[in-house]
Structure 1
């Protein structure tokens, strides 16, 4: 299954082959990021799984703020702050308290021009602030020490992916280079026994203030239980072209590994929705 994930990430970066004549090139950002820009997003992630171990379901809701602290042509410095959070997990009911401990903790990161997290500016400060919040929520020093030590054993990349997965999804769907209008297909490609294909579509929104960007990806490889391992992912975003940031994005992912299945649905929206001067 690792091969399917690898192909998924490659597929989202590769250029696709157009199935029609070249069309209009659409701008994705009318003004550059500026220090002091603030955007609030609300996200909901639902993850369900089924298999030999039974069924499980998790629903994660978050409201967070992103502020631009520095900006250049090479990238941006962002401050992430979790404002609200709730989590229900059928197999781990205590997880919500660990998530809520992040509320109010300022996480400053360096990011590329699309907002994709690259590195923590000061991980020790983030870690210590989180530990203090855990204490305020009633965890003992021993419990806090175990959790903090576990975070420290992770690589920076893993910590970023766990804490800022919503930010990474936003960045994935807000490219900084102009997009060609139309539908583009990526023919089936193979790596060993694993194959993948993809489709991208770009169009103007009806109100003229956004671009609609959709990407679909599927990958399949041989499984170990007589059934093929597979992944299918569909992502749809509306880009607010005034500032180049996503105003709404949804992504559905279905994974099959042998006789086990997992489904993830993510939806992120700006709160409030950005205005549309053209409307």
Structure 2
């Protein structure tokens, strides 16, 4: 029977979500725990790929599993998994439901802090540089909703059938009484490296290196991106995924 795993993970020590040979991935770690628990090969399929070092405070993966166990599978799985992966629920769903293809939209958050702090180093990016014009950065973020093709903000545009995305909302707000920033962006899909490239460009706007209109033109030209500088991964987290048949509030921590 098809089920959705509702989970979260801290991506610091993983090569990303997707299984890779000779690397430690979130997918591979969960599959290994499932196989040990159920004593048979198990395959799970995630709602999307995250890069090395990127986190997810809400993530879904689907799997086919029989409901003939006589124990709390979520509790046992959590005991077997490392502390940087948490399973919140195992949700029965309709046959053929797909965590990646059926998602209506996904929301990512990117966090930046201005003062070095050891508690933030793995969950936020420490910005060192000239003061930022937050108002212009937010104007640039909101401008993203007017575009439909993000080839210029895709790390590997020639490796996908198309680079069209519907960005439904994008906003930068100050957090922690001005001690940091959060970019929140919701879209129908995201391209490889897209959000980290967006953050790089928004910082350039905030620093006065480019204007909002210049960024608008850059995206509109749909040229191959210059992705020599990607914003660091640790500030990025997948924070919400919504389906036509499933809309669950994220399980919030205190960070």
TM-score by length of 2: 0.30
Larger Rg: 1
Higher strand share: 1
Higher helix share: 2
TM-score by length of 1: 0.28
